[in-house]
Amino acid sequence: AQSVTQLGSHVSVSEGALVLLRCNYSSSVPPYLFWYVQYPNQGLQLLLKYTSAATLVKGINGFEAEFKKSETSFHLTKPSAHMSDAAEYFCAVSVPTGTASKLTFGTGTRLQVTL
Amino acid sequence: DGGITQSPKYLFRKEGQNVTLSCEQNLNHDAMYWYRQDPGQGLRLIYYSQIVNDFQKGDIAEGYSVSREKKESFPLTVTSAQKNPTAFYLCASSRSYSYNEQFFGPGTRLTVL
């Protein structure tokens, strides 16, 4: 079975600083990987996804993530944080085998952006 | 605009009562999902449906029931058998069960009084 681990349940950065949210995955077959963002009391919005094409994936709002098979990682980065980036971020994995594309989510990382 | 709607946004229930959460999508998606979200636990899958008139249990189906009589609708009933129903419930859909990208509704926050 596949799983993801998000290191750090809370991350705080200053506005304009680099954002780095960590995600490591476990999967017996090449996975699909996702980052979602959730604002308070709202649903999840897809930021970006890796589906075995380019290993550096660019998403919305200036975020990007790099798939590193050797490190089983899919960390999310943004060069310069903005106050509007404050939210909870979820990493998720699925395994594209037949109809089994069920998403397994990490426990989330809450990003705080300070002035 | 295409999307997923969930209603109500907030729901209060007395202990021992069943309650039904609505989920509707106009994306023409075949697959639909229900998740439960608790602080610090991420999202856990309750039920999913690949096509109309078919659904399967997810990881935490006990105390919940669903139906899928129409393609666009996937209501979730929280029964009195669910011991700790207070949570945020999210509905999602995808083009098909073999297509990986899921789209989420705005959620329903259920509180048991």
Query: CA of B84, closest CA in chain A: separation in Å?
Result: 19
CB contact under 8 A, A43 and B109: no
A100 pLDDT exceeds 60? no
Closest CA relative to residue B48, chosen from A61, A111, B29, B38? B29
Closest CA relative to residue A46, chosen from A56, A58, A54, A55? A58
Beta-carbon contacts below 8 Å between A and B: 58
Task: Supply the mean pLDDT for chain A.
Answer: 91
What does the longest C-alpha to C-alpha distance in chain B come to? 39
Residue of higher predicted confidence among A45 and A54: A45
CB contact under 8 A, B97 and A103: no
Chain B residues within 8 angstroms (CB to CB) of chain A: 4, 6, 40-45, 48, 50, 58, 88, 90, 92, 94, 97-107, 109
Judged by a CB distance cut-off of 8 A, whether residue A17 touches chain B is: no
Cβ distance B58 to B44 under 8 Å? yes
B91 pLDDT exceeds 80? yes
Closest CA relative to residue B31, chosen from A41, A48, A28, A94? A94
Contacts of A44 in chain B (CB under 8 A): 43, 90, 92, 104
Closest CA relative to residue A104, chosen from A41, A26, A28? A26
Residue of higher predicted confidence among B26 and B99: B26
Residue in A closest to B88 by C-alpha: A41
Query: What's the confidence (pLDDT) of residue A14?
Result: 97
